[in-house]
Chains A and B, each alone.
Chain A
């Protein structure tokens, strides 16, 4: 008969199943960051002059900035000169593949292994995938079908070449290059990412998805995603990510910008499963990400759903600026901090327009020695007449060595605005487990049942296949814990 504490230990010792490394030839810049590096990245991508200038402005600004110290996380100082800022599969002098047929089979195999096949025959039905490997996109599926509807879905680099007017108009329009330390660094060195444009009145026929894979050692991943939903359009976008197991920490500093024009709707879902490091906190990804959307037009809607099970440290606050009247912002989050993981995550809902509404449902799960913080800002601007927010923030503790923290910030400048905040903290108790046992349910199944019950409101916001993946991932990430 296994004791509950043993079961916790098994939870904590669960192995990371995506930790393999793909041995491919790469074109990798030596570690270090200066203006030449930025020129080099920009040159590699054959970028126009204005974009190089934008990067350089960001870099110069970054040099004057300080790394934020307010997050409730601890880590050794990052040596920004010790990181390589560009790594792409393929030899230096080779042209980039023109289509998926020309992509190195090893790369395709990697994505097969990750469960995201890119081949024509096996690719996921109903989901178009952009696969980003280290610093570059290796291919995007279903492009032709999307093109029929006028939907643009391609790598960021391709968008810079093919649709410069859209990039110029929207790049940095939600997260300016001066925004914060990590976003500014990203603006200087970003390598690739995905670009989406949904034309007026189009309901995107497929779910769009980007799968991020960090492979190379000692490199950072700095991707940038920009999604523009034109008036009356609708899109659902999914993001997944994994990385090999390494003893060193790796920096992932991404920026995601969403723009929803009048009556447009963007649903952005993330299942984040970067390598979390081991139980002593060795290795793992530093996931320092800026995600923000703007509901620019009236009656627009942006919904962020995130399931964060990976990363050594998570620092991200997917936010919505509710500028259009009657616009809606939603944030549904499950964040797991197991092993020695630290998560400081939440959202910002900035209400500017009249009758804007936002909903925040945050579920934090702490296990092992994990530290989980919810940090959220709800701001009601002076013109946000009749704006409403509802926040529910629940924490679940598994075991006695972990921690849960809540930092809610509320600023109200309009007297007609309504803000509601509810918070709970509970512990998976021995008595709950025993109760399940006493009904014939095994401890592991009981824990999964309790955790999934706790996450239900968030999982139900995910697209179907993703919800199942998230649930399975949660079960695996938590295999064995309670006490």
Chain B
């Protein structure tokens, strides 16, 4: 589904990604872990198509298409989704209106009729229960005044509405207490199917207690230095990252 080859990217002249290779198939959940500054979020942003990243080498094939050639909104329409580490506030723009615009942009692309306000509300009510979100949030401006946990849950609500084929979750666990974490993880697990895939970026192993990955990759200084089964996450939790870095140097 996703084939990243030798991906290299710079920000303001500084190399951040130094050759990432990663292959993800439908039905799989991959986790990327790594210390601060290793390039985890950069990878997420580059995959989502954010400007300001200079891609100097490598390729990303997404269902056979060149992902990097698509604009960010085109990627979304092809089933790509990024759950933001820091969801953005948009004052004055009603959350329901925003979500409906997003869903209809996608439907329009697929040649489906726009959802009426009534049908959309029905769909949304069904999805918010999944995230145990308070319906009143949907009447407020996008992310404005949401608590950290509400923002993250709202991200997963958007994921549920857009029903992506490939989702990247960028530190979705940060700032969540254990109850919120369970809800968010439950939502993500609910969305998992054999024909879609997820890439979970996290600093801590605790998220992986709830979203169980098929593979764990360790990102250090812009490279994936170790990959393994889910048990690798536990080892990292116990021993930290230093031993891997030392292994590398050795």
Q: Give the contacting residue for A431; candidates B88, B98, B162; CB below 8 A.
A: B88
The reply to whether B71 and A1 contact each other, CB–CB distance below 8 Å, is: yes
Query: Which chain A positions have C-beta within 8 A of B102?
Result: 439-441
Q: Per-residue 0/1 for B44-58: is the Cβ within 8 Å of any A Cβ (1 yes, 0 no)?
A: 000011111000000
Q: Per-residue 0/1 for B74-111: is the Cβ within 8 Å of any A Cβ (1 yes, 0 no)?
A: 00110001101001101111100110011001100100
Give the distance to chain A from B77, nearest Cβ to Cβ, in Å: 5
The reply to whether B92 and A454 contact each other, CB–CB distance below 8 Å, is: yes
Q: Give the contacting residue for B73; candidates A430, A441, A449, A452; CB below 8 A.
A: A441
Contact A441/B91 with A1-B71, A4-B51 known, Cβ cut-off 8 Å:
no
Docked CA distance A452–B81 (Å): 26
The reply to whether A440 and B90 contact each other, CB–CB distance below 8 Å, is: no
Give the distance to chain B from A468, nearest Cβ to Cβ, in Å: 16
In the complex, whether B141 has a CB less than 8 A from a CB of chain A is yes
The reply to whether B92 and A440 contact each other, CB–CB distance below 8 Å, is: no
The reply to whether A439 and B162 contact each other, CB–CB distance below 8 Å, is: yes
Contact A453/B76 with A430-B51, A440-B102 known, Cβ cut-off 8 Å:
no
Interface residues of A in 1-56 (CB under 8 A from B): 1-4
Interface residues of B in 184-235 (CB under 8 A from A): none
Contact A438/B84 with A449-B98, A449-B101, A453-B141 known, Cβ cut-off 8 Å:
yes
Query: Which chain A positions have C-beta within 8 A of B76?
Result: 437-440
Docked CA distance A429–B143 (Å): 15
Give the distance to chain B from A426, nearest Cβ to Cβ, in Å: 7
In the complex, whether A435 has a CB less than 8 A from a CB of chain B is yes
Contact A440/B93 with A3-B51, A435-B87, A435-B88 known, Cβ cut-off 8 Å:
no
Query: Which chain B positions have C-beta within 8 A of A443?
Result: 73
The reply to whether A440 and B77 contact each other, CB–CB distance below 8 Å, is: yes
The reply to whether B92 and A453 contact each other, CB–CB distance below 8 Å, is: yes
The reply to whether A454 and B91 contact each other, CB–CB distance below 8 Å, is: yes
Closest to B82 in A: A438
In the complex, whether A112 has a CB less than 8 A from a CB of chain B is no
Query: Which chain B positions have C-beta within 8 A of A456?
Result: 92
In the complex, whether A392 has a CB less than 8 A from a CB of chain B is no
Give the distance to chain A from B126, nearest Cβ to Cβ, in Å: 19
Interface residues of A in 419-444 (CB under 8 A from B): 426, 429-432, 434-443
Give the distance to chain B from A291, nearest Cβ to Cβ, in Å: 26
Query: Which chain B positions have C-beta within 8 A of A127?
Result: none
| Residue among A2, A432, A442, A453 facing the most chain B CB atoms (10 A cut-off) | A453
Query: Which chain B positions have C-beta within 8 A of A437?
Result: 49, 71-73, 76
Contact A442/B87 with A434-B50, A449-B98, A453-B93 known, Cβ cut-off 8 Å:
no
Give the distance to chain B from A310, nearest Cβ to Cβ, in Å: 23
Docked CA distance A37–B84 (Å): 68
Query: Which chain A positions have C-beta within 8 A of B162?
Result: 439-440
| Residue among A1, A440, A453, A455 facing the most chain B CB atoms (10 A cut-off) | A440
Give the distance to chain A from B104, nearest Cβ to Cβ, in Å: 9
Query: Which chain B positions have C-beta within 8 A of A3?
Result: 51
Docked CA distance A450–B97 (Å): 12
Q: Give the contacting residue for B105; candidates A430, A442, A452, A455; CB below 8 A.
A: A442
The reply to whether B90 and A450 contact each other, CB–CB distance below 8 Å, is: yes
The secondary structure that dominates the B interface is mixed
The reply to whether B72 and A434 contact each other, CB–CB distance below 8 Å, is: yes
In the complex, whether A445 has a CB less than 8 A from a CB of chain B is yes
Docked CA distance A460–B105 (Å): 25
The reply to whether B93 and A449 contact each other, CB–CB distance below 8 Å, is: yes
Give the distance to chain B from A36, nearest Cβ to Cβ, in Å: 54
Query: Which chain A positions have C-beta within 8 A of B73?
Result: 437-438, 440-443
In the complex, whether B172 has a CB less than 8 A from a CB of chain A is no
Closest to B45 in A: A434
In the complex, whether B8 has a CB less than 8 A from a CB of chain A is no
The reply to whether A439 and B90 contact each other, CB–CB distance below 8 Å, is: no
The reply to whether A450 and B93 contact each other, CB–CB distance below 8 Å, is: yes
Query: Which chain A positions have C-beta within 8 A of B52?
Result: 430
Interface residues of A in 452-468 (CB under 8 A from B): 452-457
Docked CA distance A426–B51 (Å): 21
Docked CA distance A426–B87 (Å): 17
The reply to whether B71 and A440 contact each other, CB–CB distance below 8 Å, is: no
Contact A453/B72 with A440-B109, A441-B102 known, Cβ cut-off 8 Å:
no
Give the distance to chain B from A165, nearest Cβ to Cβ, in Å: 48
Query: Which chain B positions have C-beta within 8 A of A435?
Result: 84, 87-88, 90
Q: Give the contacting residue for A432; candidates B49, B88, B97, B101; CB below 8 A.
A: B88
Query: Which chain B positions have C-beta within 8 A of A438?
Result: 48-49, 72-73, 76, 81-82, 84
Query: Which chain A positions have C-beta within 8 A of B91?
Result: 426, 453-454
Give the distance to chain B from A465, nearest Cβ to Cβ, in Å: 21
Query: Which chain B positions have C-beta within 8 A of A426?
Result: 91
Query: Which chain A positions have C-beta within 8 A of B51?
Result: 3-4, 430, 434
The reply to whether A440 and B105 contact each other, CB–CB distance below 8 Å, is: yes
Docked CA distance A442–B94 (Å): 17
Give the distance to chain A from B81, nearest Cβ to Cβ, in Å: 8
Give the distance to chain B from A392, nearest Cβ to Cβ, in Å: 12
Q: Give the contacting residue for B90; candidates A2, A432, A455, A457; CB below 8 A.
A: A432
Give the distance to chain A from B140, nearest Cβ to Cβ, in Å: 12
Give the distance to chain B from A437, nearest Cβ to Cβ, in Å: 4
Interface residues of B in 138-175 (CB under 8 A from A): 141, 158, 162
Docked CA distance A403–B81 (Å): 36
Interface residues of B in 7-29 (CB under 8 A from A): none
Interchain Cβ contacts under 8 Å between A and B, 18 examples: A1-B71, A3-B51, A430-B51, A434-B88, A435-B87, A435-B88, A436-B98, A437-B49, A437-B76, A438-B76, A438-B81, A438-B84, A439-B105, A439-B162, A440-B76, A440-B105, A440-B106, A452-B92
A-side residues, CB < 8 A to B, are 1-4, 426, 429-432, 434-443, 445, 449-450, 452-457
9 further A-B contacts with Cβ under 8 Å, apart from A438-B72, A440-B73, are: A2-B71, A435-B87, A437-B73, A440-B102, A441-B102, A449-B98, A450-B92, A452-B93, A455-B92
